[in-house]
C-alpha cells in the first residue's frame, strides 16, 4: 500500500501544549515538512525564543538551543558563524521579535546572516496572558490595552516584514497565513523558499506567518481563524516582499 500522508520525520509523535485553534501546531508542521523535504533534520540547529514556542525542542526532533527573550537572531548568528555547515533557524513570536528583540532582528538581517527566521505574529503576548504587542491592531482589546489600542498613546502596529525588506542584507522576506487551505499551501511554499535561500548559501531569509490566539483573543477557534482572514490579512498584507534570487 502506498503511503500518501505521514508525520514529518522532523516532528516528534507527541501532543503539543498549544490551545485548541492555535496555529502554532500547523506552522510547526509546515516548518518540519520543509526541513524534511530539503533533508535538513540531521544538520539543523533550531533556536527557540521566549513565548509559547519556547518548547520547540519538545516538538521538533532536532538539536535546539533556547534563547533569552528577543535575542534569538543573535544566538543564531553565533551558532551559524561557529558551525557554518549547520542549518539554523529561529522561531519567534511578535512580542519576542518585534518588541524586546527589535535590535537583534534588524542587525542580524542587515548583516545578511545566513539564517532563516520564522516569525509568528498573533498580535499579542500569548504565553504571558494576552498583553498588548507591537503588532496589536488599533482598537484591539488586550489585557494591557483594555479599552483598545489607541494610536495616540500606543502607536501603530508594526509591519515587520515591510520594515526588514528595506534592508540590503535581507535576501528573502514574505508574509503568509495558515487560516485557509490556500493560504496554508502558500505558507508552505514561502517557508520552503526561505529555507532554500539558506540551503544555497544565499543569505538572510524571513517568513512572517499570521497566527491565531483564540484563548487570549477571547474567541472560539473558528472565530479566531476568521479574524486572521478578516482583520489581520487586511492590515498585514500577505505576499512576497523580497525575493532576490527569484525562487
Q: Closer to other proteins by CB, 63 or 162: give it.
A: 63
Alpha-carbon distance 44 to 199, whole Å? 11
Cα atoms found within 13 Å of the Cα of residue 8, Cβ hemisphere only = 23
* Contact between residue 137 and residue 123 where contact means Cβ atoms under 8 Å apart: yes
Q: Closer to other proteins by CB, 74 or 228: give it.
A: 74
* Contact between residue 225 and residue 179 where contact means Cβ atoms under 8 Å apart: yes
Alpha-carbon distance 29 to 36, whole Å? 10
Q: Closer to other proteins by CB, 74 or 137: give it.
A: 74
List, in order, residues 6 or more apart from 126 with CB less than 8 Å away.
Answer: 22, 51, 52, 93, 95, 213, 215, 216
What is the closest distance, in whole angstroms, from the C-beta atom of residue 65 to other proteins in the complex?
Answer: 4
> What is the CA angle 180-130-183, rounded to 5?
10
The closest alpha carbon to 119, from 224, 19, 231, 24, belongs to 24
Q: Closer to other proteins by CB, 44 or 179: give it.
A: 44
Residue 51 vs residues 46, 80, 83, 99, 180: alpha-carbon distances, Å: 15, 23, 26, 13, 25
Cα atoms found within 13 Å of the Cα of residue 31, Cβ hemisphere only = 31
What is the closest distance, in whole angstroms, from the C-beta atom of residue 160 to other proteins in the complex?
Answer: 17
* Structural element, H or E, at residue 91: strand 87-93
What is the closest distance, in whole angstroms, from the C-beta atom of residue 107 to other proteins in the complex?
Answer: 4
What is the closest distance, in whole angstroms, from the C-beta atom of residue 61 to other proteins in the complex?
Answer: 5
What is the closest distance, in whole angstroms, from the C-beta atom of residue 48 to other proteins in the complex?
Answer: 8
The binding site for other proteins (CB under 8 A) comprises 41-45, 47-48, 54, 57, 61-68, 71, 74-83, 86-87, 103-104, 106-107, 111
What is the closest distance, in whole angstroms, from the C-beta atom of residue 1 to other proteins in the complex?
Answer: 28
Amino acid at each position: 500500500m502506498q503511503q500518501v500522508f505521514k508525520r514529518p520525520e522532523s516532528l516528534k509523535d507527541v501532543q503539543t501544549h498549544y490551545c485548541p485553534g492555535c496555529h502554532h501546531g500547523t506552522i510547526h508542521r509546515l516548518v518540519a515538512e520543509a526541513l524534511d523535504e530539503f533533508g535538513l533534520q540531521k544538520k539543523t540547529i533550531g533556536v527557540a525564543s521566549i513565548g509559547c514556542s519556547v518548547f520547540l525542542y519538545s516538538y521538533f526532533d532536532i538539536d535546539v538551543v533556547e534563547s533569552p527573550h528577543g535575542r534569538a537572531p543573535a544566538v543564531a548568528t553565533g551558532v551559524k558563524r561557529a558551525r557554518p555547515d549547520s542549518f539554523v533557524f529561529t522561531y519567534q513570536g511578535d512580542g519576542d521579535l518585534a518588541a524586546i528583540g527589535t535590535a537583534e532582528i534588524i542587525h542580524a538581517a542587515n548583516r545578511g546572516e545566513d539564517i532563516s527566521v520564522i516569525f509568528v505574529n498573533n498580535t499579542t503576548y500569548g504565553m504571558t496572558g494576552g498583553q498588548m504587542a507591537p503588532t496589536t491592531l488599533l482598537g484591539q482589546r488586550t489585557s494591557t490595552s483594555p479599552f483598545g489600542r489607541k494610536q495616540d498613546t500606543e502607536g501603530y502596529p508594526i509591519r515587520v516584514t515591510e520594515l526588514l525588506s528595506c534592508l540590503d542584507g535581507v535576501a528573502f522576506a514574505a508574509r503568509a497565513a495558515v487560516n485557509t487551505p490556500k493560504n496554508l499551501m502558500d505558507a508552505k511554499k514561502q517557508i520552503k523558499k526561505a529555507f532554500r535561500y539558506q540551503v544555497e548559501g544565499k543569505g538572510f531569509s524571513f517568513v512572517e506567518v499570521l497566527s491565531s490566539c483564540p484563548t487570549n483573543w477571547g474567541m472560539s477557534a473558528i472565530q479566531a481563524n476568521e479574524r486572521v482572514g478578516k482583520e489581520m490579512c487586511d492590515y498585514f498584507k500577505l505576499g512576497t516582499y523580497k525575493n532576490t534570487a527569484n525562487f
